[in-house]
Amino acid sequence: MDAEFFELFTKQGKLKGLVKKSAGVSQKRYYSFQGIPYARPPVGELRFKLPVPYGEWGDVRDATKEGNDAIQNHMFFGTPIGDEDCLYLNVYTTQTGNEDCLYLNVYTTQTGNEDCLYLN
């Protein structure tokens, strides 16, 4: 099955996402935009500073793949994995008529760390 692409205009520029169907019986159609940068990577002079907005991207931004994982220790081996360039959003919606209708899903997992927050 070939992927169906969908382009969306935002204030930062054009995004190329995917049209997908939900699992299960309903097979509801939805739009997936992954790996959308919301701030400049916190590296170099930006390390330990407030986030700096990403700004506009020049051409069509490929939003068909997730962004980098945040740097963390591997669960079993304790070695560092991930990347400091990790300030990305994944947006899933059934509507695309207006940029204001895109929802941000925020969820947390139950861990021993109270400061743990995941954005998806």
Q: How far is CA 69 from CA 15, 41, 56, 89, 100, in A?
A: 20, 12, 22, 11, 26
Query: What's the whole-number mean pLDDT along residues 81-92?
Result: 92
Taking Cα atoms as reference points, which of 34, 40, 37 lies closest to residue 90? 34
> What's the predicted TM-score (pTM) here?
0.72
pLDDT tens-digit series, residues 18-67 = 999 998 888 899 999 999 999 999 999 999 999 999 999 989 999 999 99
How far is residue 81's CA from residue 66's CA, in Å, rounded to a whole number?
A: 16
pLDDT tens-digit series, residues 103-114 = 555 554 455 555
The C-alpha R_g of the chain, in whole angstroms, comes to 16
